[in-house]
Amino acid sequence: METPSTPLLEAPLRAAVGQLTLAARRLVAGAVAGLHPSLHPGRSREFSQYRAYQPGDETRHIDWKLFARSDRFFLRESDVDTRVAVALVLDATASMAHRGSRSNDPRKFDRARSLAAAFALIAEIQGDPVALHVVSNGEISSLSTAGHRQPLQQIVRRLAALEPQGRWPVEPHLLAHAMGRTDSNTGSTGAAATRQLTVLLTDGHEHDGEIRAALAPLRARQHEVLCLHFIAEDELNFPYQGPVRLEEWETGRILETDASAVRQQALDAQEASRRAWRSAWGNARFDYLPITSDQPLERCLHALLRRRKRT
């Protein structure tokens, strides 16, 4: 649900929407590929074969010249690209506010939000239905753009009003239920999508496997999952020294310790987490891309699109 406009919020919200839209267009500019091969999903490219007309078929596909010769109805079938229903799942929990140890490091959430807007723009260009699912405060809020002519603006306005807070819900089926509702809305308008792509934008921070548990039901539904894992610079090298005070983002739990004593343990835990994400689902319909805070987002996006074009 969108945040209601008020006189106090409208001006900064408009500015945030404009900045996020511009960021999305800059990220996508120069991209040589989309989320899937066709820029015009559902349009016929090359003639494939004829088949006899059946009740319920669209008459616009009838070959009338062949009808004039044969007095029978035949449809021209062509090789067409499938439509892909894109579900953007944005982790907006408290840990996504992390920005690393350098003063100029952006928050993980801001980078994830910009990429989510870029994916929405790509879906709009390709004519694919797109929905946004925001995970925050133990809940999932969803926005379906079915029936909207400008889905990008619907999604960007929602993204601009968000701030990270809370944690992932414990109930693993909430995400699948939310996605099922937006899938139904999408299927009721226009041509039905024949593939499902879920783009997860997250830092992978979980207390007891709740993120992976939320994704598990999607596997049974044959969803393809693209996991974008946002990693801060200090998670890669743990640059702290001497006595440190570490606070867990989502629980507020505080640990006071010596950085040197726990450095290797912290680095090992981070590497183990990344290995676990890389091997999720045995790579079947699961693509994993780590994004570190020193990587320009446009390079990450363009490299990802080129890689998807080859597969």
What is the domain range of residue 27? 7-34+82-310
Is residue 148 assigned to a domain? yes
pLDDT at residue 309 in the model: 73
pTM of the full structure: 0.79
Contact 127, 38 (CB under 8 A): no
Residue 143: strand pairing partners: 132
Q: In terms of domains, do 117 and 60 share one?
A: no
The average confidence (pLDDT) of the chain is: 82
Greatest mean pLDDT range, 47-51, 123-127, 298-302 = 298-302
Higher local confidence (pLDDT), 178 or 39? 178
Q: In terms of domains, do 26 and 65 share one?
A: no
Residues 277, 292: Cα–Cα separation, whole Å: 15
pLDDT at residue 192 in the model: 55
Contacts of 275 (CB under 8 A, 6+ apart): none
Q: In terms of domains, do 256 and 111 share one?
A: yes
Is residue 116 assigned to a domain? yes
pLDDT at residue 189 in the model: 39
Indicate if the pLDDT at residue 147 is higher than 60: yes
Q: In terms of domains, do 98 and 203 share one?
A: yes
Q: In terms of domains, do 175 and 185 share one?
A: yes
Domain boundary among 25, 58, 80: 80
Give residue-wise pLDDT tens across range 132-144.
999 999 999 999 9
Q: Report the SS3 class of residue 163.
A: coil
pLDDT (mean) for 77-83: 55
Is residue 16 assigned to a domain? yes
Q: In terms of domains, do 133 and 217 share one?
A: yes
Q: In terms of domains, do 254 and 216 share one?
A: yes
**Ordered DSSP codes for 28-91:** HTT----SSS-SSTT-EEEEEEEEE--TTS-GGGB-HHHHHHHSS-EEEEEEEPPPEEEEEEEE
Q: In terms of domains, do 54 and 160 share one?
A: no
Ranking 32-46, 52-66, 85-99, 123-137 by mean pLDDT, the lowest is 32-46
Give residue-wise pLDDT tens across range 100-131.
777 788 999 999 999 999 999 998 888 889 99
Contact 79, 49 (CB under 8 A): no
Domain boundary among 80, 103, 136: 80
Is residue 40 assigned to a domain? no
pLDDT tier at 84, thresholds 50, 70, 90: confident
pLDDT at residue 112 in the model: 96
pLDDT tier at 39, thresholds 50, 70, 90: very low
Domain total for the chain?
2
Is residue 95 assigned to a domain? yes
Contacts of 143 (CB under 8 A, 6+ apart): 1, 2, 131, 132, 133, 134, 154, 155, 158, 182
Q: In terms of domains, do 70 and 163 share one?
A: no
Is residue 187 assigned to a domain? yes
Is residue 204 assigned to a domain? yes
Is residue 190 assigned to a domain? yes
pLDDT (mean) for 65-93: 78
Q: In terms of domains, do 255 and 122 share one?
A: yes
Residue type, 165: Q
Q: In terms of domains, do 16 and 155 share one?
A: yes
Residue 173 belongs to domain with CATH number:
3.40.50.410
Indicate if the pLDDT at residue 56 is higher than 70: no
Q: In terms of domains, do 26 and 160 share one?
A: yes
Torsion of CA 297, 237, 164, 17, to 10 degrees: -20
Higher local confidence (pLDDT), 106 or 63? 106
- Picking from 59, 63, 34, 36, the residue whose alpha carbon sits closest to that of residue 47 is 63
Greatest mean pLDDT range, 4-13, 79-88, 232-241 = 232-241
Residue type, 173: H
pLDDT tier at 82, thresholds 50, 70, 90: low
